Amino acid sequence: MSPKPLSRSPQRPGPQKSLSPNQERSHSCRNDLALGRICPVIAASLLPAPKLSPVLDPGFRPAALARRAFAAEAKIPVLIALEQADGSVFHHRTAVLEDSHPQAQANGFFIERLCKTLLWAYGGRRLWIDGPADIAAGLQAHYRDTAVGRFDSEIIGERIYGGPIEVVHTTNPPPAKATSAPLGRHLEGCRIGFDLGGSDRKVAAVQDGKVVFSEEIVWDPYFQSNPQYHLDGIQDSLRRAAAHLPRVDAIGGSAAGVYVNNQVKVASLFRGVSKEDFDTHVRDLFLTLRKQWNGIPFDVVNDGEVTALAASMSLGVNSVLGVSMGTSTAGGLVTAEGNITSWLNELAFAPVDYRPDGPADEWSGDRGCGVQFFSQQAVGRLIPAAGLDIASTLPLPERLVKVQEHMAAGDERAARLYQTIGTCFGYAVAHWSDFYDLRHVLILGRVTSGAGGEVILREAQSVLAAEFPTLAAQIRFHMPDEKDKRHGQAIAAASLPALG
């Protein structure tokens, strides 16, 4: 279910300790240091090296290991309550170091990294902090005063949920509650499903559950300033699919970004479009398409949700995290009941590497986030380290094709690139297991095509076996066949709308 904006002035339960401007300023410099904007000196014991080091990225310091090392030292309890879009509240209990601890300055860094993961995984714009006052003050200063903090506040808070991220210090946070809802799995009738990526758009025609046509077309939406480019491209794919059906009863789609009632809230696909054209032409693009298709059932949701649905449908299981490694990194969860939540699951922006000088995301500027490890951007970043002679002037999709050609030819340099992605992925899965109830993990997307996908899963399994044996016994990794790998999301998307 797509998230709904929060009211700007909800009733706040219990007593709050408001932070005066003077109080916030008194902590801002200390916490800017602690939050890593001017990198704090963090002891190696809190950023442990992994047992299995990524062969092309030896500086990688897994969030999973860092958080466990920090927790072993932390004594002061902190409860974080994240208020979500539909009124759900997620509780996460953690702890921070005592003021007398020699690494106390790291408190802000670890709390901010944790909150960033919570925000991008679950969504919401209000954080209730039951813990030391300076932790709440530092977080509020971060979202107000630092570039990466303001990015999160603008994108998650203002553009998705209607206001900047708010941090409330309290001794009585709202009680935990969560909701979930069924998604898709409707296959009767004649349907079209599409998936919009940053380098290609996929489409499938499905008749009574049988795929009668599927296609993938290269396009370049990121820096197109004319909204008509996007509309024409999507229409072209829909018409191609419709030509293989006797009629079209419903259309379902997925795309990177956040969609509410078929409206585009935030989407990297449209980053080249001006704000004025976005508001005028892009926000209601899918509503326009629905009208052009005679008002038939038409649903568009985040590609992470459809990734999870595709995984669940492909495997015939629930409690599954689907991760799509394409132009970006999309994630989605199907619960044990077969439902999805109102969470964002934008794993591209969730930190998986805690080294202060980790690779920076080209959009947010933040370091160590998933997109730099599990996407075409990750492949492009690792090509020089692998020693592959592939021109950096080529678009990322073409560089990936070159890597896949080297891999198919048995080039060990390409194999080391995929080994690196797989090792990092294993540690990321261990990290994500702290936030999701995982039993199955399925990977999709262009990066996983070919022999490289098998290497990624093999290395991820090795990480869990070496570092997290309990998780190794609990989690099963999966990958669909080549056809599902390239078109699974479009097929699952076709099942989104209910008829009648």
* Angstrom distance (rounded) from CA 349 to CA 372: 9
Query: How much is the average pLDDT of 296-314?
Result: 86
Q: Cβ atoms within 10 A of the Cβ of 354, count?
A: 27
* Angstrom distance (rounded) from CA 229 to CA 221: 8
- pLDDT attached to residue 31: 39
Query: How much is the average pLDDT of 336-346?
Result: 82
The DSSP call for residue 367 is: B
* Angstrom distance (rounded) from CA 398 to CA 419: 20
194 against 362, higher pLDDT: 194
| Lowest pLDDT segment from 1-5, 187-191, 275-279, 371-375 | 1-5
The DSSP call for residue 222 is: T
* Angstrom distance (rounded) from CA 484 to CA 329: 18
- pLDDT attached to residue 103: 95
Residue 339 has pLDDT above 90, yes or no: no
- Residues contacting 29, CB < 8 A, separation 6+: none
* Domains, in order of start, for the chain: 16-178 (no CATH), 181-305 (3.30.420.40), 310-492 (3.30.420.40)
Strands, E, within 131-189: which ranges?
166-170, 180-181
* Angstrom distance (rounded) from CA 165 to CA 144: 9
* Angstrom distance (rounded) from CA 472 to CA 462: 9
- pLDDT attached to residue 444: 83
Predicted TM-score (pTM) above 0.95: no
3-state DSSP percent of the chain in helix, strand and coil, to 5:
45, 20, 35
The winner for highest mean pLDDT among 62-71, 259-268, 484-493 is 62-71
- pLDDT attached to residue 260: 79
Closest CA to 489 of 443, 424, 436: 443
* Angstrom distance (rounded) from CA 102 to CA 107: 11
Q: Cβ atoms within 10 A of the Cβ of 45, count?
A: 11
Q: At what angle do helices 133-145 and 21-34 cross, to 10 degrees?
A: 80
Query: How much is the average pLDDT of 52-78?
Result: 98
Residue 4 has pLDDT above 90, yes or no: no
- pLDDT attached to residue 36: 39
- pLDDT attached to residue 486: 58
182 against 355, higher pLDDT: 355
Residue 284 has pLDDT above 50, yes or no: yes
> What's the distance, CA 40 to chain centroid?
27
| Lowest pLDDT segment from 20-34, 128-142, 430-444, 470-484 | 20-34
| Residue 489: pLDDT band with limits 50, 70, 90 | confident
The total number of residues shown for the chain amounts to 500
Contact present, 297 and 498 (Cβ < 8 Å): yes
Tell me the per-residue pLDDT of 220-260, one tens digit each, with 9 for 90 and over.
898 899 999 999 999 999 999 999 999 999 999 998 778 87
Contact present, 439 and 474 (Cβ < 8 Å): yes
* Angstrom distance (rounded) from CA 66 to CA 348: 19
Q: Cβ atoms within 10 A of the Cβ of 392, count?
A: 9
| Residue 6: pLDDT band with limits 50, 70, 90 | very low
Q: Which two tokens stand for residue 96?
A: 């921070």
Determine what percent of the chain is predicted with pLDDT higher than 70.
91
| Residue 462: pLDDT band with limits 50, 70, 90 | very high
| Lowest pLDDT segment from 71-85, 332-346, 428-442 | 332-346
| Lowest pLDDT segment from 50-59, 217-226, 411-420 | 217-226
- pLDDT attached to residue 316: 86
- Provide the b/e sequence for 141-166 (b: ≥16 CB within 10 Å): bbbebbebbbbbbebbbeebbebbbb
Tell me the per-residue pLDDT of 141-173, one tens digit each, with 9 for 90 and over.
999 999 999 999 999 999 888 899 999 999 999
* Angstrom distance (rounded) from CA 141 to CA 135: 10
Q: Which amino acid is at 141?
A: A
Contact present, 223 and 272 (Cβ < 8 Å): yes
Q: Which two tokens stand for residue 475?
A: 């989690």
- pLDDT attached to residue 366: 95
Contact present, 496 and 186 (Cβ < 8 Å): yes
Residue 354 has pLDDT above 60, yes or no: yes
Residue 293 has pLDDT above 60, yes or no: yes
